[in-house]
Structure 1
Amino acid sequence: MMTICSVPNGFKKWTRRIFASVISAGCLVGAVSACAQQTVVSEPNASVYVLDLWKIYEQEGFDSLEKQVNATYFITALQGIVNRDESRLFLDAAVNLIGVELDSFHIKGRDKQADFESMDRRWLAWLQQSGLLGQRPVVEIESVKDLLSVFADEVNGLALWDMETPSSVNLALTAAGCEDLLPLSADLDDGFLQQRIAASGISLPVVQNFTGYASKAAKQGITGKELIYRTMLDLYLKSGKASPYHLWYNLDAFTWNPPVVSYGGNKHLGNRNILQHNGLYNGDYWISQRGLFVDLYPLDDAAPNDDLRQVPGTDLRLWNDLLEESYRQRDGAFGVMGGFAPWWVKYTDAVGNAHPPIDAEQAFIRLATSYNLWNDADAAFGLSNASFYRHLPLPKPSEFTNPAVEKPELKKDTIYVCLFMLDHDGSAWLNQIAHTIYDRPGRGTVPLNWAINPLLSDRVPHVFRYLLENRTEQDFFRIGDDGAGYVDPYYLVGSNRTGRIKEDGYEAYCQAAKPYLDRLNMDLMAFYISDQEFTEEILAPIAALTPAGMGLNRTATLKEVAGVPVKFAQAYHHRDKAMFTSEMARLFERAGSGLIYPEFYAYRLILFRPSMVADVVTELRKQHPAANIEFLDAHTFMSLKQEGDKLPLTSPWMHKKRLEARAGEGPSGLEPVRAGDGAFAVVKDGDASVWRLAPSAKSPRYFYVTVDDAFSKENELADDLQVRIALSCDAPVTVGLQYNSMWPAGDFPNPYKAHPKKTRQSPGEAQEIVFKLDRPYFKNSQNAMADFRVIISGQGTVDIESMILEHDAE
């Protein structure tokens, strides 16, 4: 059975080229942006075949990493082929790596060995119990011979690749999807897998031979990697054999050159950790979709560490060649790029390139968005069986509802808090989070807002059903996560695009995004992410998609766009739990200090278990029973925020000429705030208290400060404001300042205007440093919604005794 719906013109043209029998009004399952819901149901008595990957490896002598890698490429390719039209072959391969990381860090102590379990067996048991597999019998496959005996007739032969040109594995995997071939390397495992195939008595002919490309390329004066991707472009993409809608950022076989690197420190998991973290299980879905397997450096400033002989910029040119052709075949309609820049193995300063990991991530997302490709950001942690899961039914849109909540009356002396649980912008993460985070104690105590990228419903629809069926009255959904698919909205603007396409992508994005949002009944976006400042011009074209509200990963002066409330969401990773606890303590203390207008705070809690939130809030409520603080579902939060934004700003400090703050004293209109890169403690130093920045090998360190909003409004662009900081240190440091300002030309805010003054501070008594400000424009636009930050370069202890913001008497 197949649900029929309309599809974009570009997709229709592609399917007509390949499948003459496709009904022009129909929907080919898996077409990105093509239909709001798609379901394929297997024959009611057709067997589900299950292969325990690691059991087979142990029994049949796959006892080295090289043997296991070669076999995993081969088996997952077979899985993608036979699962293309229905769910037939299921692998028991992946373990709960996110759970292992959390348990190792928080329960057993940092970097300790945590227990693990099979994610796949757990999901298979639930699928059977829930009835999603009907009465289909489950048949265990006990050997490679059994596997080939069942499925060999459904493949056309082999695609050979070699370690001489590690990127050749991506060409072989692309061939697997386009020609129903199985990838095989003779030199990676010294022919072991070939021997196992021969022993099965099943003959698989060589259909494509992608070995020896390094030698062929040398004759042309290029590298083997370049020749591989030129071949991919011509043989599979330009020919129409590959889907222009599906690309997978697949870490190629360079990974298996010693020393083998794997993300995470789970050494007790051995090769299980290495294969899963490096994405060996993920390929089945992309093969089922006839996708392109690509691994290229997204910058052009140097030769990448996996191809040092190439002319710098070659990888990026190849990216552009592939993406431009993909865009052309889609007629600009949106497609999907799965995976992520493999920062732990390639292209970053972790392995000898010049850039930190965030640069590779941002360059990749810029490039993908610039060609109308959103991202299913698997990154590390791995996902098996997506080709199996994709055929399972998604809950109906009407099932995505939230518990009824009575909107509270807006109170001027109250702090309102919204907690977004994420990151759920990659199918691999969501598939694990359901059991390793969502299932854990703590839900039902505090409203938790589960933000999920709706694109993930293509690969892991079963997870959405599981979440809904096991929710409490304090679990809220209908919330997206960094777009309908992960995009950077700034690069939907044609003139901002980094590739060769310079036409706007807004219309294509909205056309593609609305069906995905509608299928999950989503009308609110937890946050959009960008490496550039958000402006009304950037957000206005997409605001109507989520009329209930939009969160942002960067601070912005915007309060609403096209009538849609907008809010910055401060991020905390689970490893920052102590900082989050301190931030919550700050809010509870502030909420008991007699606020004169409501305050709104939103937080992105990345890989937080519910108890990590509930325990903190419960304890702080005991400590501060009179605190006026309310934790809200996201929809109520955004609605109240929009109401609160319309209140006139008033405060005891709005008409003051001078604000002065000292550690341990009450509200003053100046308040230090903690951020991910700005930690401090309030400590007693004799009779007085100080804000102490502990010694750190990291330099610089930051001390963030927020200014009363009413005072800020009264003093916008004042020409005589100055900041005075009194501090002492036990080792030499240099002190600077950055603050919210307006650029000298135009009216665009600059969150981090650097004061030109740098003061060298020597150990001894506290000294006062004065910074005169130029066009201050305090809009809470630094990290932690701060207005300025003190910059400390040096590693000693620093004590800040007081800070003053005043009009210069001169």
Structure 2
Amino acid sequence: MTFNTLLSAANQHKTTEPIAYLDLSYMWNYSPDSQTQVNEIWDILHCVATLQGVVNRNAPHIYINYVKNEFMEVDRYWWDLYRQKGKWLNRRDTVYYNDIVKLTEDYKEKIRGAVVYDTNVASTSCVASAVAGIEDLIAIRYDTSEGSLYHRLIMNGPKMEVKVWLINRDGTSMFTGRGQIPQTDRPSTGSTKNDPYIWFISNYMKRNRCSGEYGAYYLDQYWKQSPQSAPMNAHCLTNHDFFVSHRAFFFDLSPWSDESATDEKAQPVGSDFSTLTEMLSEAYRINRGKKICHIGGFPAWAYKYTRHAGGSHEDVDTEWEFSRIISAYNTFKDADAIGYGALANASFWQHYPTAKQYPQKWITDEELQHLGYLDDKGHVRIEGRKFIIFYVGDYDSSAWITSVLPHLWKDPERGKLPLMWCISPVLERRVPMVMDYIRRTASPNDYFAAADNGAGYLMPGMLQAPRKLSGLPDGLNAWAKHCRPYYKKWGLTITGFVIDGQAPGLTDKGLECYASFSPNGIVPQKTPRTRLFGNMPILRAGSDLVQTPEQNADFIVQDMQHSPIPFGWYRDILKSPSWHKQMMNKIAEIDPSIELLDAPTFFELYRRWLREHPEAANGKIE
């Protein structure tokens, strides 16, 4: 059976039940200056995301149209693509909705009721999403005013039964940051924000009632205080549905132990950090240390926990600190960062059937000789030439690959240059339809490697024992076991970038871990410039390309001319094939000895060059 036949078979779907399509595009023009409209955005999207998560858990039933950016109407794009003749959704009947109340009424039998949370305690919104997934409920904010969603769904209309209250029934706050945390044997943390999370840990995590394999790190209701701080969909409520479907734990906590969280400055210093590490520790326990936890989300730097929001730490430092912490507990993030962080319908698309394997071909000796890169004795032919490769990223986020890559993928220059597209294979969990699409439409010049830092973004140095932060046993075996099947399925043998950040660099044991699933190369930050570990080539990460194509071309030429080795790696973020072509044209004008190689040629030549230069293979070149 051919590869295309496998894909064709995978795209057939047996379900004939109609799809419910809720069009929320009318909210695109809502103003962040209208509190009424801000509340409506929050309430409707939160409710529908939890409804989707429960109803779509076992099959794709509910789809919404909401996410858009300057490039595309994201949800409509993927819907239209897979509604085409012969595609997955072509034969599915559709019922269109524009009212969340009507949609809820029609799916009332598939949910058990509602969880109601407190407007005045922002963190209860995150807890509500977690409870909704575990108890098969929808999340609704307490608001008895005329026209509110609570008024329409609880007090009137279908009159959903409230199964869980995160607020007192008279509307007063259940969590006060004082005394004993309700329904637990735990004293208050002294933080109104943290007490609901401790309530959740006590009643769900410690009782093994939630998943340890999935967590969600998205903004709580604090978003409503400054919705103008980032694109309006930066609340990422639409992202909740997938994690609700997997009964995940939800949180919005600062990773910093040296200050109070910026959204609750009166809390005891480090309260958020303490709660975060307790949640991660419980997830590790639930997983028995054998599985890697998948967290969706990213520090909401424009709103919280950074200097942007009145804290003392920079944006990237906050990203890295969060990554460092979660890695110590065998956890990675699916990095839905602000800008293009909104993703809808992952609970729907998770059911898209992919092929069993997506193989990629490695280059042979004969091909290298035919291309003139090896002489007749098999030695690398340098002769004044210099070789470069681009890390084309960052595709370590299901949201980013869904919202931006289609625009870049349609660039007319794609396929004219060899580009190494670095995409985390674990994104197949939330957006398999995107992963499948780019593989089916790739040109011979489009080659795929894993994004940072494998099948998910964590800092692998924090997996290595001793692990002072968590005190847990070595996690490298669990990471290798997690990554191997994804690399095999997607034909990956290169990890295009390893972000070490503030974590330790990889030890020999860490390198053995990577060699087991990424044998053709890795590109860490904390490593000698060159190294050959067994048969795995290691190249230290080079520079990010953040200027114009012409300025970047000047930089690359100067950098390669001063480099002690003839191989260079450069990283760019969300750049088009046209941008790369413009840069390479300029490089060719300045220094035609610099060649852009495809990934198999680059890493195979680099490996052979290392074998021929023992000082480089042993990390002696700087």
Aligned to 1:234: 202
Structure with the larger strand share: 1
Aligned to 1:377: 335
Match of 2:119 among 146, 149, 163: 163
- CA distance in 1 between counterparts of 2:318 and 2:565 reads 40
Aligned to 1:489: 460
Alignment of 1:371-450 (within 5 A): 371-380=329-338, 381=340, 382-401=342-361, 406-407=367-368, 408-409=373-374, 410-412=380-382, 413-450=384-421
CA 1:279/1:496 → structure 2, altered by over 3 Å: closer, same or farther? same
Based on CA coordinates, which of the two structures has the bigger radius of gyration? 1
The 3 A distance-change label for structure 1 pair 361 and 56 is: closer
- Aligned counterparts of 1:72 and 1:480: Cα–Cα separation in 2: 30
Q: CA deviation at 1:434?
A: 2.7
Of residues 94, 107, 123, the one that matches 2:78 is 123
Aligned-pair CA distance for 1:632: 1.1
1:502 Cα deviation after fit: 2.6
1:282 is aligned with what amino acid? Answer: N
Q: Pairwise mapping of residues 180-329 of structure 1 onto structure 2 (< 5 A)?
A: 180-187=136-143, 192-197=148-153, 201-211=157-167, 212-213=172-173, 216-220=176-180, 222-257=190-225, 259-263=226-230, 273-274=231-232, 276-329=233-286
State the match for 2:298 in structure 1: 340
For residues 520 and 497 of structure 2, the distance between their equivalents in structure 1, rounded to whole angstroms, comes to 12
Counterpart CA distance in 2 for 1:552 and 1:372 is: 19
* Counterpart secondary structure, 1:604: strand
User: Aligned with 1:234: secondary structure?
Assistant: helix
- CA gap 1:496/1:300 in 2 versus in 1, 3 angstroms: same
For 1:79, the equivalent position in structure 2 comes to 52
Equivalent residues in 2 for 1:454-469 (5 A)? 454-469=425-440
Identity value in percent: 26
Query: Offset of 1:329 from its aligned partner?
Result: 1.3
SS in 2 for 1:341: coil
Residue 356 (structure 1) aligns with? 314
In structure 2, how many angstroms separate the alpha carbons of the residues matched to 1:572 and 1:226? 38
The answer to whether 1:607 aligns with 2:574 is yes
Matched with 1:136 is: 92
Name the CA distance, whole Å, in 2 between partners of 1:512 and 1:649: 33
The aligned residue for residue 4 of structure 2 is none
Task: State the TM-score, normalized to the length of structure 1.
Answer: 0.67
In structure 2, stretches of 5+ residues that fail to align are: 1-9, 181-187, 375-379
- 8 Å CA contact 1:401, 1:478 repeated in 2: no
- The alpha-carbon distance between structure 1 residues 649 and 287, as it changes in their structure 2 partners (threshold 3 A), is closer
Structure 1 Cα separation of the partners of residues 49 and 237 of structure 2? 8
| Contact 2:335/2:398, CA 8 A, preserved across alignment | yes
Unmatched runs of 5 consecutive residues or more in structure 1: 1-38, 101-115, 264-272, 651-708, 714-748, 750-777, 781-810
Distance 2:35 2:25 in 1: 9
Say if 2:115 and 2:137, in contact at 8 Å, map to a contact too: yes
CA contact (8 A) 2:257 2:269 kept: yes
How far residue 604 of structure 1 moved from its aligned partner, in angstroms, is 1.5
Question: In the alignment, which of 498, 503, 506 is matched to residue 476 of structure 2?
Answer: 506
Cα 1:261–1:467 shift into 2, 3 Å: same
Which position in structure 2 is the counterpart of 1:68?
A: 41
> Secondary structure of the equivalent of 2:179?
helix
One-letter amino acid of the counterpart of residue 511, structure 1? K
Does residue 551 of structure 1 match 2:523?
Answer: yes
Taking the aligned partners of 2:23 and 2:492, their CA distance within structure 1 comes to: 37
More helix by share: 2
Residue 639, structure 1, aligned to residue 608, structure 2? no
| Equivalent of 1:519 in 489, 493, 512 | 489
| Partner secondary structure for residue 219 of structure 1 | coil
Q: Counterpart of 1:556 in 2: which secondary structure? A: coil
1:185, CA displacement in angstroms? 1.3
CA shift, 1:127, in A, is 1.0
Q: CA deviation at 1:149?
A: 3.0
AA in 2 matched with 1:487: L
Number of residue pairs matched? 580
TM-score, normalised to structure 2's length?
0.87
Is contact 1:95–1:119 with CA below 8 Å preserved after alignment? Answer: yes
Distance 1:57 1:599, change over 3 A: closer
The letter for the 2-side match of 1:350 is H
On the 8 A contact 1:418/1:633 being kept in 2, the answer is: yes
CA-CA distance at 1:216 after TM superposition: 4.2
* Deviation of the 1:75 alpha carbon: 1.0
Give the match for residue 23 of structure 2.
Answer: 52
Q: Could you report, residue by residue, the CA deviation over 1:328-368 in whole angstroms, capped at 9, with x for unpaired residues?
A: 11110212111111111111111111111122211211111
Determine helix, strand or coil for the equivalent of 1:149: helix
- Provide the C-alpha distance between the structure 2 equivalents of 1:71 and 1:44, rounded to a whole number of angstroms: 27
- Secondary structure of 2:404 counterpart: helix
Checking the alignment, whether the CA contact within 8 Å between 1:525 and 1:546 is kept in structure 2 is yes
Contact 1:144–1:197 (CA under 8 A) maintained in structure 2: no
2:601 aligned partner, one-letter code: T
Q: Which amino acid aligns with 2:476?
A: Y
